[in-house]
C-alpha cells in the first residue's frame, strides 16, 4: 500500500524540488511536518523525516463537491514522506493511491487515479 523510491538528491534538496514541482504543477502545499524535530521536542531521536502535504485544488474539488464522495476526504491531502536512512540515503514514500483507488467506487477511483498520476509526475525526475 506504500510506494518507496530512492531519491537522487539529499533530503533537503529533495524536499525543495518536490515543493518547486508541486507549485509549477498548480498544486498547493498546506503543510510540511518535520517528524525528527517534532519527536526531538519530547526527547525522542529519529533520523530525518519530512512529510509533505500536497493538494491539487481541482482534483480535491472533484471529491468534495459530492456528498457521495466527500467521506474520501479522510485521505486528503495527498502526502509524500521524504526520509533518510541510517546510511544517509534519501527516500521518497507515499501511499499507493493507484492501489487504493482500485478498492474505491468507480467515480472515486477515477479521481484518485488522476491524483496518483499527477503526484508521480512530481517526483519521477527525482528518483533513481
Model pTM?
0.92
H/E run at residue 103: none
Q: What is the pLDDT of residues 7-30, one digit of tens each?
A: 999 999 999 999 999 999 999 999
* Residues 79/54, Cβ–Cβ less than 8 Å: yes
Q: What is the pLDDT of residue 98?
A: 67
Grid coordinates belonging to 81: 514522506
Query: CA-to-CA distance for 82 and 51, rounded, in angstroms?
Result: 6
Q: What is the pLDDT of residues 66-100, one digit of tens each?
A: 898 898 898 889 999 999 999 999 999 998 876 77
Q: What is the pLDDT of residues 99-128, one digit of tens each?
A: 777 777 778 888 888 898 999 999 999 999
- Give Cβ neighbours of residue 86 (< 8 Å, ≥ 6 apart): 47
Query: CA-to-CA distance for 28 and 37, rounded, in angstroms?
Result: 23
Superfamily of domain 2-126: TT1751-like domain (3.30.310.70)
Distances (CA, A) of 57 to 28, 67, 88: 7, 17, 34
Amino acid at each position: 500500500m506504500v510506494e518507496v523510491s530512492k531519491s537522487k538528491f539529499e533530503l533537503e534538496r529533495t524536499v525543495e524540488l518536490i515543493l518547486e514541482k508541486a507549485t509549477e504543477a498548480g498544486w498547493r502545499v498546506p503543510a510540511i511536518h518535520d517528524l525528527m524535530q517534532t519527536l526531538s521536542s519530547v526527547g525522542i531521536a529519529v533520523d530525518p523525516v519530512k512529510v509533505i502535504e500536497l493538494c491539487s485544488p481541482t482534483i480535491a474539488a472533484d471529491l468534495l463537491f459530492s456528498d457521495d464522495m466527500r467521506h474520501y476526504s479522510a485521505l486528503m491531502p495527498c502526502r509524500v514522506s521524504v526520509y533518510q536512512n541510517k546510511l544517509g540515503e534519501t527516500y521518497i514514500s507515499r501511499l499507493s493511491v493507484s492501489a487504493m483507488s482500485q478498492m474505491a467506487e468507480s467515480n472515486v477511483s477515477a479521481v484518485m487515479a488522476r491524483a496518483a498520476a499527477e503526484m508521480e509526475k512530481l517526483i519521477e525526475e527525482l528518483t533513481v
